Structure 1
Amino acid sequence: MHTTLQPTEGETTTLHQDYLHLHQRPELSMQEHNTASFIESRLTEMGIEHFRCGGTGVVGILRNGQGPVVAFRADSDGLPIQEDTKVDYASTARGTLDDGTDVPVMHGCGHDTHVAGALAAARILVRGTDSWQGTVIFIFQPGEETSAGAAAMVADGLWEKVPHPQVVLGQHVFPFATGTISVTPESAMAMADSLEVTLYGKQAHGSQPQDSIDPIVLGANIITRLQTITSRELNPLDSAVVTCGSFHAGLKENIIPDSAVFTLNIRTLTEEVRAKVLAAVTRIINAEAVASGAPQPKITELYTFPRLYNDPQHTEQLVGALGEEFGEELIRLAPPAMGSEDFGALADAIGVPNVFWMFGGADPQDPSPAVNHSPFFLPEYRGALDTAVRAAVAGLMHYVGR
């Protein structure tokens, strides 16, 4: 990194303070009101032009003369998890789900490191304007965990309010060693489709099954049969995951209920496989209902995530830039992940390429760090933030550096 773009001692202190502030104050997806206000206050302090977008999203525009335009995204939402890390800065925050349920909230996926790191990168670029030229758009995006945030920002006119970037960059903390980077060319993360399925039956006494249409037995057959999609209908070289994450039916052991509800999560890497799997899911659900003499089930889409596709040319360039910063031996080319991200929707909306990478957040001496979405998930924040800031600045400077 250019010497003028190394964080100062004061900037590092502020970076750590920002992280600790955010870690203790997580907010649920699309409810990041205080987080957004905090981001706005920091951008105002830096003199960066900014505006709200997509409800609780914030966009900062850092202009420094004529030159390339590049966007950098950091997501800001927390998760409904009770933090169990035992650190003195652990979250005790609570939030309310859309259905009114009161829940604990933690930054169980490290979005606090993303926001703090992006703010620090912005602070460094503001100070180091002699080293770069162009425009950097900082996108602080809400609602990544529900796939609502990127779409909300696009729908709210994000790309009508800022110069169009030539590329959109983003990063995510992951529990491998700090100081290391993982990048996947092309299909980096999967598409995701979440469905709610309502089965209808006929209620009867548990001792009189002949008078019933049992939605529990119907659901069990459906869920078992759905697993044959990946094992018997897809080419073994095509990746897909079909998961039933919840099943709810009945109130008492001696009553066959009149309905059952279960939810599905489906992950695929290509549109062709996605269409095939979704068609098979619908076919099996409806066919098993017919086989049971039950009414047609109701299938409701809960949410969908787009594919995250890393442009090969830009990915190769960023691997080089990150390798110069960290050392080539600390940059790993990784296979696609079946996890999902709505990051790709930002660039897709205007037809520009994007590159997304993972940065290490775990203590290199920890043999089994907790994974994302665990109540024990806790980056070694000093090393994680140092990695995040260095990677962000190196990626941005590849495009706007002089």
Structure 2
Amino acid sequence: MAASITAALAGLGAIRGDLADFYRDLHAHPELSDQEHRTSGEIARRATALGYTVTEGVGGTGVVAVLANGAGPTVMLRADIDALPIQETTGLPYASKNDGVMHACGHDMHATCLLGALKLLIDARSSWAGTILAVFQPAEETGRGAQEMIDDNLFERFGTPEIVLAQHTAPFPVGVVGGHAGTAAAATDALRIIMHGRGGHGSRPEATIDPVVMAAATVMRLQTIVSREIAADDAAVVTVGCLRAGTKDNIIPDEAELQLNIRTFTPQTREKVVASVHRIAKAEAAAAGAEWEPDISVIDTFPVMFNDPDAMARTLTAIGETLGPDKVFDPGRITGSEDAGNLATAAGVPLCYWMFGVLDPEVFGGGSDPVQLVHDMLSGTIDVKSVPGPHTSGYAPAVDPSITVGVTAMTTAALTWLGTA
């Protein structure tokens, strides 16, 4: 397929400008999980114009585009499309027009690159055989989107693929692609804890049970789970990302809310950490003399993401032959989470999920060679704390080079798994 890949990619130059305009439009109009109505409409319109059979409203706001091109394997190409509740601070001319909502995780880039790949693939359909099943998935950020599409009879309606291919932007220099075989991304458990106290006047704390102090003590004690309960050769993350309590400085409230995020890689560690969170919250409430135990509920969950080793080797080898083998590297497993694996698990097929760098080399403080910059990042020479990453208000992919790499990687991967004509 090497000649077919080269021929297909020859058409990228002609569409690069249009794709960049589309990306900027998506970035300026981000929509939260399960609210991606405009986004889905624009994607559906473009995929239909390309010649695909398009279905909207799958799993709520998901879009499925299908192209059957003779006997051969069915290959799923997946992109997520939702944004995050973040106020953008990039100052870009195409920054978000939706107050408090931002494409801070690159899903606008994912959708753009998949549409670009669909254009190149349909133009090159004389060189391959099989079926393209393109899935534009909503609500990845809540961990519900893939399952919502599955529950809406995704596979029964559109067929079961032989492979699920997915990619994600990453805070690497643009031009490189990273992928890790095996356990590639962590499981997530997001929990909400409501600490119940007894409110009163700020001048008379002795007449209250202060949930603010209770919550603060809980936050500090939660930090000991990873450092004192998890073995040094294991890995886990516990983050309290939200703490809400009270309305005024001189009012002790009745309750305080914590929202926390847990990342683990094995079922055993996952069970241990979640159990420890429950134990600590209840113990701190008891220590404070609370009259009621905390309410602990699940916000969302993600499973561990597992990349099939054989599928990864086949796909990344092909991408390396296209971009250059030195441009492909193994970043190791990440503590981020993804629900793309749900699609592969439900279909009973391998998952191949990789990341592509989208940041201008200047962001890293020197040098223009992306390969060297990645080496410096992995060795600790570059302080990654200074690099704006996903889920931050300053995350700003370099538009044109990123689109080129993303479209190239997805097109190459698709042709690697489709049959020959």
Q: TM-score range by the shorter chain?
A: over 0.9
Pair 1:4 & 2:7 matched: yes
Q: What amino acid is aligned across from residue 39 of structure 2 in structure 1? A: T
Pair 1:370 & 2:373 matched: no
Q: C-alpha separation between the residues in 1 aligned to 2:351 and 2:212?
A: 45
Change (3 A) 1:117 1:266: same
2:34 corresponds, among 26, 30, 34, to: 30
Pair 1:261 & 2:257 matched: yes
- Aligned residue-pair number: 393
Q: C-alpha separation between the residues in 2 aligned to 1:56 and 1:390?
A: 27
Change (3 A) 1:342 1:8: closer
Runs of 4+ in 1 over 4 A off after TM superposition: none
SS in 1 for 2:234: coil
Q: C-alpha separation between the residues in 2 aligned to 1:288 and 1:85?
A: 40
Aligned-residue sequence identity (percent) comes to 42
Q: What amino acid is aligned across from residue 242 of structure 1 in structure 2? A: V
2:289 corresponds, among 290, 293, 296, to: 293
Residue deviations 1:61-116 (CA, integer Å, cap 9, x gap): 11111111110101111222333323322222x2xxxxxxxx43222211111111
1:90 corresponds, among 88, 92, 95, to: 95
TM-score (norm 1): 0.93
Aligned equivalent of 1:60: 65
Pair 1:39 & 2:39 matched: no
Q: What amino acid is aligned across from residue 30 of structure 1 in structure 2? A: D
Aligned equivalent of 1:18: 22
Pair 1:382 & 2:400 matched: yes
Greater alpha carbon shift after TM alignment, 372-381 vs 191-200: 372-381
Q: C-alpha separation between the residues in 1 aligned to 2:13 and 2:198?
A: 69
Q: What amino acid is aligned across from residue 17 of structure 1 in structure 2? A: D
Which structure 2 residues correspond to residues 119-138 of structure 1 after superposition, within 5 A? Answer: 119-138=115-134
Aligned equivalent of 1:271: 267
- Cα distance, 1:373 vs. partner? 2.3
Residue deviations 1:225-263 (CA, integer Å, cap 9, x gap): 111211111111111111111222233334433221111
SS in 2 for 1:91: coil
Note if contact 2:192-2:258 (Cα within 8 Å) is conserved in structure 1. Answer: yes
Note if contact 2:199-2:254 (Cα within 8 Å) is conserved in structure 1. Answer: yes
Pair 1:395 & 2:394 matched: no
Q: C-alpha separation between the residues in 2 aligned to 1:205 and 1:373?
A: 38
Q: What amino acid is aligned across from residue 54 of structure 1 in structure 2? A: G
Structure 2 gap ranges (5+): 366-386
Q: C-alpha separation between the residues in 2 aligned to 1:82 and 1:217?
A: 29
SS in 2 for 1:320: helix
SS in 2 for 1:105: coil
Change (3 A) 1:272 1:112: same
Q: C-alpha separation between the residues in 1 aligned to 2:27 and 2:197?
A: 46
2:74 corresponds, among 69, 77, 81, to: 69
| Higher relative helix content | 2
SS in 1 for 2:60: coil
Change (3 A) 1:255 1:3: closer
Pair 1:339 & 2:336 matched: yes
Aligned equivalent of 2:326: 329
2:173 corresponds, among 167, 172, 177, to: 177
Q: C-alpha separation between the residues in 1 aligned to 2:262 and 2:207?
A: 35
SS in 1 for 2:363: coil
Greater alpha carbon shift after TM alignment, 333-342 vs 118-127: 333-342
1:361 corresponds, among 344, 348, 358, to: 358
Aligned equivalent of 2:158: 162
Note if contact 2:226-2:236 (Cα within 8 Å) is conserved in structure 1. Answer: yes
Q: What amino acid is aligned across from residue 318 of structure 2 in structure 1? A: A
SS in 1 for 2:156: helix
- Cα distance, 1:207 vs. partner? 4.1
Residue deviations 1:108-166 (CA, integer Å, cap 9, x gap): 21111111110111111111012211111100011112222112111111111122111
Note if contact 1:4-1:131 (Cα within 8 Å) is conserved in structure 2. Answer: no
- Cα distance, 1:224 vs. partner? 1.5
Q: C-alpha separation between the residues in 2 aligned to 1:261 and 1:376?
A: 27
Which structure 2 residues correspond to residues 299-310 of structure 1 after superposition, within 5 A? Answer: 299-310=296-307
- Cα distance, 1:378 vs. partner? 1.5
Greater alpha carbon shift after TM alignment, 200-209 vs 254-263: 200-209
Which structure 2 residues correspond to residues 178-327 of structure 1 after superposition, within 5 A? Answer: 178-294=174-290, 295-327=292-324
Q: C-alpha separation between the residues in 2 aligned to 1:207 and 1:140?
A: 55
Note if contact 1:182-1:358 (Cα within 8 Å) is conserved in structure 2. Answer: yes
- Cα distance, 1:380 vs. partner? 1.2
Q: C-alpha separation between the residues in 2 aligned to 1:61 and 1:72?
A: 10
Structure 1 gap ranges (5+): 95-102
- Cα distance, 1:365 vs. partner? 3.7
- Cα distance, 1:401 vs. partner? 4.6
- Cα distance, 1:328 vs. partner? 1.3
Q: What amino acid is aligned across from residue 53 of structure 2 in structure 1? A: E
Note if contact 2:164-2:352 (Cα within 8 Å) is conserved in structure 1. Answer: yes
Q: C-alpha separation between the residues in 1 aligned to 2:103 and 2:288?
A: 44
- Cα distance, 1:396 vs. partner? 0.9
SS in 2 for 1:300: strand
Residue deviations 1:334-387 (CA, integer Å, cap 9, x gap): 111111112111112222210111011122343255322222221111100000
